[in-house]
């Protein structure tokens, strides 16, 4: 597998190009979100829920059990809040009314998962038409991957033109020895178990049609790249991922990648969070289209996201405590920030704006805020020097993600973001 090694090296080199700033010292301490009176503004619904929502994630993570069997039953009884009354015949028709819960309902069960995709990655099918493969061993070996391991399964898509759909047989922690490369038409579907991938990252380069779903990928150190590193690839859906504590970025899409949706992820405790377009000279990214939807960006210093050249639709996300900035752009990028919640922690400015911004600065990006909810003193400085961002260029109107009022995001994202297993799924459906 010489090609693997070459690709890994290419990824390391590119990752190193964009790693200038370090986390400021005051950023290391965890900000207390549950302080009484923390929320100072607007929407009573939001302030009522915020304390609970933030506490919840901490409690929940202790509690990711293997009780997923019970949730199907409880779902059926409730008939899924988001869908009730929309489809006829008691919900038999699965209209994808909710870009968060569909994945865990009967509508998105098994290889029906792709119908839950929304945003620019709509139409992705991953390995639906390919081999079915179950990971039974947490072992990893680069030189001689054994059948039953994740690396062996991912490699199957290299030679199989229809790709592979990978599931897991039990809870497991996989310590990758080096970057895991994902090929064309691949789904890694972690539903049903608590799957943790650590030590090395997941990468893709020059591929299309990939779904990465319901995993924790965390603690990626040692220069293998960003936690999920997407190079020159298209139609990629990264969904319900729990990512934190990486040496580099968490999820990034660079060097000609497009038609990507990053949704329902819990992305926390990092300096560089999400880089979309890595270099000012990467004109190839002018066709980049990324949907960033219902993610929880928490305790991170910068890049949530940082966009270059392309169009970034940042819609219905929850932001809590950023450092340098939350959102920024360069090189003609367009960002529509729509109905997000920004809860300021140590810094108020959402965008990378300062009073000495002048004609020497890159004023080409357009950053527009539409219906965002700004809390705890958060301020949003729009960038309109070259006009407005325009509507997101979805191919079909129905690819536009379902948008809720930002006040609802505390519960929804607080309960439903990241990898969901067992009680957390039930909690998402009952209270999210």
Ligand X SMILES: *[C@@H]1O[C@H](CO)[C@@H](O)[C@H](O)[C@H]1NC(C)=O
Among the candidate windows 81-89, 114-122, 202-210, 280-288, which touches ligand X by CB under 6 A? 202-210
CA distances from 371 to 49, 85, 184, 342, 408 (A): 19, 27, 37, 11, 13
**Distance between CA atoms of 50 and 341, rounded to whole angstroms?**
11
Using CB under 6 A as the binding rule, whether residue 146 contacts ligand X is answered as yes
Using CB under 6 A as the binding rule, whether residue 255 contacts ligand X is answered as no
CA distances from 407 to 193, 292, 319 (A): 31, 18, 12
| Residue from the set 21, 34, 66, 74 that interacts with ligand X by CB under 6 A | 66
DSSP string, 331-387: TT-EEEEES-EEE-SS--BSBS--TT--TTS----EEEEES-EEETT-B---B-TT-
Nearest to 382 by CA among 340, 334, 319, 312: 334
**Distance between CA atoms of 342 and 233, rounded to whole angstroms?**
30
Is the CB of 158 or the CB of 353 nearer to ligand X? Answer: 158
- Of residues 317-376, which lie at the interface with ligand X (CB under 6 A)? none
* Shortest Å distance, C-beta 304 to ligand X: 30
Is the CB of 187 or the CB of 317 nearer to ligand X? Answer: 187
Q: Are 127 and 186 in contact (CB under 8 A)?
A: yes
* Shortest Å distance, C-beta 272 to ligand X: 28
* Shortest Å distance, C-beta 234 to ligand X: 8
**Distance between CA atoms of 46 and 318, rounded to whole angstroms?**
12
Is the CB of 184 or the CB of 271 nearer to ligand X? Answer: 184
Residue 116 tokens read as 């839950």
| Residue from the set 104, 183, 266, 272 that interacts with ligand X by CB under 6 A | 183
Size of site (CB under 6 A) for ligand X: 12
* Shortest Å distance, C-beta 281 to ligand X: 23
Q: Are 81 and 63 in contact (CB under 8 A)?
A: no
Is the CB of 34 or the CB of 66 nearer to ligand X? Answer: 66
Among the candidate windows 127-135, 200-208, 350-358, 411-419, which touches ligand X by CB under 6 A? 200-208
Q: Are 236 and 267 in contact (CB under 8 A)?
A: no
Is the CB of 160 or the CB of 332 nearer to ligand X? Answer: 160
Q: Are 329 and 361 in contact (CB under 8 A)?
A: no
| Residue from the set 31, 38, 158, 357 that interacts with ligand X by CB under 6 A | 158
| Residue from the set 4, 87, 131, 139 that interacts with ligand X by CB under 6 A | 139
Among the candidate windows 33-41, 204-212, 288-296, 388-396, which touches ligand X by CB under 6 A? 204-212
* Shortest Å distance, C-beta 141 to ligand X: 7
Is the CB of 193 or the CB of 272 nearer to ligand X? Answer: 193
Using CB under 6 A as the binding rule, whether residue 67 contacts ligand X is answered as yes
Is the CB of 195 or the CB of 412 nearer to ligand X? Answer: 195
Nearest to 291 by CA among 342, 340, 219, 244: 340
Nearest to 134 by CA among 93, 179, 97, 164: 164
Using CB under 6 A as the binding rule, whether residue 137 contacts ligand X is answered as yes
Using CB under 6 A as the binding rule, whether residue 184 contacts ligand X is answered as yes
**Distance between CA atoms of 221 and 137, rounded to whole angstroms?**
23
**Distance between CA atoms of 307 and 321, rounded to whole angstroms?**
20
* Shortest Å distance, C-beta 69 to ligand X: 6
Is the CB of 68 or the CB of 302 nearer to ligand X? Answer: 68
Using CB under 6 A as the binding rule, whether residue 160 contacts ligand X is answered as no
Among the candidate windows 10-18, 43-51, 94-102, 201-209, which touches ligand X by CB under 6 A? 201-209
Q: Are 265 and 254 in contact (CB under 8 A)?
A: no
Q: What residues are labeled active site?
A: 303
Q: Are 237 and 204 in contact (CB under 8 A)?
A: no
Q: Which residues bind ligand X (CB under 6 A)?
A: 66-67, 137, 139, 146, 148, 158, 183-184, 206-208
């Amino acid at each position: 597998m010489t090609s693997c090694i070459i690709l890994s090296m290419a990824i390391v080199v590119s990752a190193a190009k964009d790693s200038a700033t370090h986390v400021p010292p005051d950023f290391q301490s965890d900000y207390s979100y549950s302080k009484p009176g923390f929320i100072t503004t607007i929407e009573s619904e939001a302030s009522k829920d915020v304390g609970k929502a933030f506490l919840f994630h901490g409690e929940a993570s202790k509690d990711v059990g293997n009780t997923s069997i019970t949730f199907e039953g409880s779902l059926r009884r409730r008939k899924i809040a988001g869908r009730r009354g929309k489809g006829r015949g008691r919900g038999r028709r699965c209209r994808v009314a909710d870009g968060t819960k569909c994945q865990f309902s009967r509508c998105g069960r098994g290889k029906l998962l792709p119908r839950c995709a929304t945003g620019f990655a709509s139409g992705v099918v991953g390995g639906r038409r390919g081999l079915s493969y179950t990971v039974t061993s947490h072992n990893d070996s680069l030189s001689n991957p054994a059948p039953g391991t994740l690396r062996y399964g991912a490699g199957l898509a290299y030679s199989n033109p229809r790709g592979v759909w990978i599931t897991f047989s039990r809870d497991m922690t996989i310590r990758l020895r080096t970057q895991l490369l994902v090929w064309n038409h691949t789904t890694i579907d972690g539903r049903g178990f608590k799957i943790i991938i650590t030590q090395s990252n997941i990468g893709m380069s020059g591929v299309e049609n990939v779904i990465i779903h319901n995993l924790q990928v965390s603690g990626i150190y040692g220069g293998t790249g960003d936690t999920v590193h997407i190079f020159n690839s298209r139609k990629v859906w990264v969904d319900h991922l729990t990512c934190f504590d990486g040496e580099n970025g968490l999820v990034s899409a660079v060097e000609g990648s497009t038609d990507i949706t990053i949704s329902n992820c819990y992305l926390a405790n990092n300096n560089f969070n999400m880089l979309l377009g890595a270099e000012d000279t990467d004109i190839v990214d002018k066709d980049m289209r990324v949907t960033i939807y219902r993610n929880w960006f928490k305790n991170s210093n910068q890049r949530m996201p940082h966009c270059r050249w392309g169009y970034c639709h940042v819609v219905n996300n929850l932001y809590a405590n950023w450092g340098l900035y939350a959102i920024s752009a360069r090189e003609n990028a367009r960002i529509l920030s729509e109905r997000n919640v920004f809860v300021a922690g140590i810094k108020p400015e959402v965008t990378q704006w300062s009073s000495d911004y002048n004609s020497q600065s890159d004023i080409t990006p357009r950053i527009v805020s539409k219906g965002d909810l700004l809390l705890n003193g958060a301020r949003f400085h729009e960038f309109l020097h070259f006009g407005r961002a325009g509507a997101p260029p979805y191919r079909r109107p129905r690819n536009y993600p379902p948008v809720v009022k930002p006040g609802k995001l505390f519960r929804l994202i607080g309960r439903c973001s990241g990898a969901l297993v067992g009680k957390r799924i039930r909690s998402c459906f009952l209270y999210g």
